[in-house]
A and B are shown apart, each in its own frame.
Chain A
Amino acid sequence: KQEVTQIPAALSVPEGENLVLNCSFTDSAIYNLQWFRQDPGKGLTSLLLIQSSQREQTSGRLNASLDKSSGRSTLYIAASQPGDSATYLCAGFSSNTGKLIFGQGTTLQVKP
């Protein structure tokens, strides 16, 4: 059974800090991994998608990496801003199951 785990569950940082969100998965047949942002009570916004053949993707202040051998992905946020406050979810697509499996999310608060 594929499981996706996100640590920490919650994180509070002062504005301007660089931070790393972690995502681990148990299924070695993961095809790709997606990072999403979710604001309270809202839907999900796709941030980055990393194919299994890639090691990282970048978009603005966001950088996501994928290490299939260790079953880990990280989302790096540079120079955090209060507007970055949200829940960040990672989701792995498994070639075994053909399903998209989500972690429980990390809720980030960036304090001014």
Chain B
Amino acid sequence: DAGVTQSPTHLIKTRGQHVTLRCSPISGHKSVSWYQQVLGQGPQFIFQYYEKEERGRGNFPDRFSARQFPNYSSELNVNALLLGDSALYLCASSRTSGRLADTQYFGPGTRLTVL
């Protein structure tokens, strides 16, 4: 089985632009969560979706939004990009009830650089 996939792998944007990051979960997984990892720090929770509904949201501004599609893939959108949004964005999927307590399987991440 393929693991969690994310696209693109790398992205360079300028301040004020908008970006869309994509994630496909492991087949059979219905929960997708997004994390931001700034260099040298642990990942910070952004969103969790389960069965196309938002189940959790971290302490991020409204410029960050996400959605989950009927095939359980997900998009993370960030508007009005700031330099501080430069980070590795990680997507994780899990199999069962959608709680983040389940084993999380992470994708390789999208490296976003904002100039």
Which residues of A pack against B, CB within 8 Å? 4, 31-32, 34, 36, 41-46, 49, 89, 91, 93, 98-105
Judge whether A99 and B100 touch: CB under 8 Å: yes
Closest chain A CB from B112 CB (angstroms): 13
User: Which residue in A42, A46, A89 is a CB contact (below 8 Å) of B103?
Assistant: A46
User: Which residue in B40, B42, B55 is a CB contact (below 8 Å) of A89?
Assistant: B42
Task: Give A91 to B45 CA distance when docked, in angstroms.
Answer: 11
Q: What is the size, in residues, of chain B's interface with A at 8 Å between Cβ atoms?
A: 27
Task: Give A31 to B100 CA distance when docked, in angstroms.
Answer: 10
Closest chain B CB from A88 CB (angstroms): 11
Judge whether A46 and B104 touch: CB under 8 Å: yes
Task: Contacts A89-B42, A99-B58, A103-B42 given; indicate if A36 touches B101 (C-beta within 8 A).
Answer: no
Judge whether B56 and A99 touch: CB under 8 Å: yes
Task: Give A32 to B56 CA distance when docked, in angstroms.
Answer: 18
Task: Give A43 to B111 CA distance when docked, in angstroms.
Answer: 11
Which residues of B pack against A, CB within 8 Å? 4, 6, 33, 35, 40-45, 55-56, 58, 88, 90, 92, 99-101, 103-109, 111
Task: Give A47 to B35 CA distance when docked, in angstroms.
Answer: 18
Task: Contacts A44-B90, A104-B40, A104-B42 given; indicate if A34 touches B103 (C-beta within 8 A).
Answer: yes
Judge whether B103 and A43 touch: CB under 8 Å: no
Closest chain B CB from A1 CB (angstroms): 10
Closest chain B CB from A74 CB (angstroms): 17
Judge whether A105 and B90 touch: CB under 8 Å: no
Q: Please, which residues of chain A bring their CB within 8 A of the CB of B88? A: 41
Q: Please, which residues of chain A bring their CB within 8 A of the CB of B108? A: 42-43
User: Which residue in B4, B41, B100, B105 is a CB contact (below 8 Å) of A100?
Assistant: B100
Judge whether B42 and A43 touch: CB under 8 Å: no
Select from chain B the residue with minimum beta-carbon distance to A48.
B103
Q: Please, which residues of chain B bring their CB within 8 A of the CB of A89? A: 42-43
Judge whether B56 and A93 touch: CB under 8 Å: no
Q: Residue among B42, B45, B100, B111 with the most chain A CB within 10 A?
A: B42
